[in-house]
């Protein structure tokens, strides 16, 4: 592959220490851009009036919460209703498809500015499917999470957050009222989660350059000094060279040669010993 630079939407605080060449530049959070666009008045008022705080519940734009099995939705209704007067803000594309009897502390909306919701001072937790964008946004704004991963990288993202004690993970195939209650109680009332996410958020912000400036710097660096300035020579190797198959074959051949030589020497020595013994016996019989 003729690659000179790879920009990856990841960050060391989430992905940990990894073996990467200089051509791989982490720009986690590059999509997080604050703007001055106003928040819809009704949503702003709802968040401001949530004096006991609120929980934000969103599975992004690809997963429709209202299409979940009724059994799971009933668990959400029951557990989220119990945390009142703490409120719940749920992103639902079609609220009419939700079961009836929505708890009074739950507010639904088909669209909302997620960054501004996560930034609001009254937010207390984020229920998410663990997509990389939402996970990085929650860390950026210091919001502890309840993760319900569904596919691909979401499981890894949530495992990383659980390891760092900034999230509680639930299995979508085994959600019960008991474990949902336990997750909400931990995230909302155990101060360690909030403290840990604040510390992680500080580390996220503590960078010499913003993600956008980092990407800009390295793109200009490659343009200025040549497309191979950061490129690893390993990119030009065949797979068997990169995997050291040739080295392994060489060692195997050397080992086989040594073993063959050792067997030959042992056989030769045994043959000489047997020959000497035969001569000695023949000499004794002659005498």
Q: Which tens digits make up the pLDDT trace of 126-160?
A: 999 999 999 999 999 999 999 999 988 899 999 99
Residue 96: predicted pLDDT = 85
Rounded to two decimals, the pTM is: 0.81
| Nearest by Cα to 102 from 77, 65, 120, 126 | 77
Residue 1: predicted pLDDT = 65
| SS3 per residue for 240-278 | HHHCCHHHHHHHHHHHHHHHHHHHHHHHHHHHHHHHHHH
Q: Where are the domains of the chain?
A: 6-27+211-234, 41-205, 239-284
Q: Which tens digits make up the pLDDT trace of 164-173?
A: 999 999 999 9
Both tokens of 107, joined, read: 């507010």
Domain range 41-205, CATH class: alpha beta
Residue 54's beta-bridge partner residues? 87, 123
Phi, psi of 91 (to 5 degrees): -85, 110
Residue 284: predicted pLDDT = 62
Helices 70-82 and 177-189, packing angle to 10 deg: 40
């Amino acid at each position: 592959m003729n690659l000179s630079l790879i920009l990856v939407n990841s960050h060391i605080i989430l992905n940990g220490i990894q073996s990467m060449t200089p051509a791989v530049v982490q720009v986690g959070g590059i999509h997080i851009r604050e703007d001055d666009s106003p928040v819809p008045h009704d949503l702003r008022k709802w968040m401001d009036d949530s004096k006991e705080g609120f929980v934000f519940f969103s599975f992004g734009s690809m997963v429709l919460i209202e299409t979940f099995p009724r059994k799971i939705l009933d668990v959400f209704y029951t557990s989220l209703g119990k945390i009142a007067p703490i409120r719940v803000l749920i992103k639902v594309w079609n609220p009419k498809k939700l079961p009836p009897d929505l708890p009074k502390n739950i507010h639904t909306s088909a669209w909302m500015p997620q960054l501004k919701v996560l930034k609001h001072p009254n937010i207390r937790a984020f229920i998410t499917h663990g997509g990389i964008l939402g996970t990085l946004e929650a860390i950026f704004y210091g919001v502890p999470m309840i993760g319900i991963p569904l596919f691909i990288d979401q499981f890894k993202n949530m495992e990383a957050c659980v390891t760092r004690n900034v999230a509680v993970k639930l299995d979508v195939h085994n959600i019960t009222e008991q474990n949902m209650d336990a997750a909400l109680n931990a995230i909302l009332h155990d101060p360690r989660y909030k403290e840990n996410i604040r510390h992680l958020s500080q580390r996220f912000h503590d960078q010499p350059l913003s993600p956008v400036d980092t990407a800009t710097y390295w793109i200009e660096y490659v343009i200025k000094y040549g497309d191979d300035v950061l490129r690893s020579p390993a990119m030009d190797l065949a797979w068997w060279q990169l995997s050291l198959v040739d080295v392994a074959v060489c060692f195997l051949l050397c080992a086989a040669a040594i073993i063959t030589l050792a067997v030959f020497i042992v056989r030769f020595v045994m043959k000489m010993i047997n020959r000497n013994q035969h001569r000695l016996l023949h000499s004794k019989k002659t005498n």
